[in-house]
Amino acid sequence: MSHKLNKINEYKAEMMQQISHELSSPLSAVLGAHFLLTSKRAGPLNEEQVRMLEIIRESVDRLTNFSRQFLDVAKAEAKMMQYNFERSDIIALVEKVVKESEISAARKNIKIDFHADPSPEVMIDNEKMTMVMNNLMSNAIKYTDAHGRIRVEAGPSDTGVRIAVSDTGMGISAEDIPHIFTKFYKARNASKSGSHGTGVGLALVKAFSEGHDAKISVTSTIGVGSTFTIEVPVAPENGQPTSSGYNEGTE
């Protein structure tokens, strides 16, 4: 049964890779046309045309992001994802993501507080851990009302480094919390934010966290906010990951 499930997951990952590849060509063509129009090579544009082109670009970016993230989740579930681990200062990585997130937060007048304590090095795939933090920050901004606050804390834990992203958003109900990391699952009150999510962001966070042998958890209160916490194990002395679930190599 285990062998059959693995083969099914492999088939799903391969199918998603093919779908992603088939989507890339028309999306590239749309972006090419978008560039020609916005650069006014085909003639001047009025305000309404500029606005419509912005909507087209946002839609293409959203579809591209969904395709990429869904493919990554499928690969992780099929244990086909490859990780490039290196001994890293995760605090510096988190601080960089926080700084970059301030631009999006400023559009909603959301204040981001960041506090970090000196922490041990960890073995991580920097690109994938950056995606984890980007998704957590994006979610916090998305579900926090204007003039709200987000606090990011990072520091040593009993097993490595603990990172917590807290917001003053709408919160998640106790009934939704057990399912929040499931593909395509959306909390009952998610639509109230007015934002459109892909439904795979938190699934990707969970998949990549597990690939790092890290623990991801969430606590939340409706109307108060949520805290997503990830605990990344300290880098082993021999410089090699300890989990049998790790794959090393180049994608």
Q: The CATH number of the domain where 135 resides is what?
A: 3.30.565.10
Domain that holds residue 27: 2-77
Q: Do 117 and 148 lie in a common domain?
A: yes
CA dist., res. 181 & res. 132, Å (int): 12
DSSP result, 78-147: TT---B--EEE-HHHHHHHHHHHHHHHHHTTT-EEEEEE-----EEE-HHHHHHHHHHHHHHHHHTS-TT
Q: Does residue 238 lie within any of the structural domains?
A: no
CA dist., res. 129 & res. 120, Å (int): 16
Q: CB neighbours of 111 closer than 8 A, spacing ≥ 6?
A: 105, 148, 149, 150
Asked which of 77, 104, 135 is the last residue of a domain, the reply is 77
pLDDT of residue 149: 97
16: its two tokens: 């998603």
Phi and psi at residue 156, in whole multiples of 5°? Answer: -70, 150
- Contact by Cβ (8 Å): 105, 147: no
Residue 248 pLDDT grade (very low, low, confident, very high; cuts 50, 70, 90): very low
Q: Does residue 188 lie within any of the structural domains?
A: yes
Q: Mean pLDDT across the stretch 109-117?
A: 97
Q: Looking at per-residue confidence, does 76 or 9 come out higher? A: 76
Q: Does residue 189 lie within any of the structural domains?
A: yes
* pTM exceeding the 0.85 threshold for the entire prediction: no
pLDDT of residue 57: 82
Q: Does residue 247 lie within any of the structural domains?
A: no
Q: Do 139 and 195 lie in a common domain?
A: yes
DSSP class of residue 177? G
- Contact by Cβ (8 Å): 8, 15: no
Is the per-residue pLDDT at 168 higher than 80?
yes
Judged by average pLDDT, the poorest of 34-43, 122-131, 185-194, 224-233 is 185-194
- Contact by Cβ (8 Å): 78, 97: no
Q: Do 23 and 112 lie in a common domain?
A: no
Q: Does residue 244 lie within any of the structural domains?
A: no
CA dist., res. 217 & res. 70, Å (int): 21
The highest-confidence range among 54-68, 70-84, 150-164, by mean pLDDT, is 150-164
Q: Looking at per-residue confidence, does 167 or 42 come out higher? A: 167
Q: Do 143 and 215 lie in a common domain?
A: yes
pLDDT of residue 90: 96
Share of the chain above pLDDT 90, in %: 52
Q: Do 132 and 202 lie in a common domain?
A: yes
Q: Mean pLDDT across the stretch 5-9?
A: 62
Cα distances (Å, whole numbers) of residue 192 to 94, 126, 149, 166, 217: 29, 33, 18, 19, 23
How many structural domains is the chain composed of? 2
pLDDT of residue 22: 65
Name the average pLDDT for the chain: 83
Is the per-residue pLDDT at 239 higher than 60?
no
Asked which of 33, 55, 77 is the last residue of a domain, the reply is 77
Q: Do 168 and 106 lie in a common domain?
A: yes
Q: Do 20 and 143 lie in a common domain?
A: no
Q: Do 143 and 227 lie in a common domain?
A: yes
Q: Does residue 145 lie within any of the structural domains?
A: yes
Q: Do 91 and 177 lie in a common domain?
A: yes
Asked which of 77, 111, 135 is the last residue of a domain, the reply is 77
Q: Mean pLDDT across the stretch 178-194?
A: 73
Q: Tokens 């959203």 sit at which residue?
A: 62
Q: Does residue 92 lie within any of the structural domains?
A: yes
Q: Do 203 and 139 lie in a common domain?
A: yes
Q: Do 106 and 13 lie in a common domain?
A: no
**Start-to-end C-alpha separation, the chain:** 28
Is the per-residue pLDDT at 184 higher than 60?
yes
Q: Looking at per-residue confidence, does 199 or 95 come out higher? A: 95
108: its two tokens: 């909603």
Q: Do 99 and 57 lie in a common domain?
A: no
Is the per-residue pLDDT at 71 higher than 90?
no
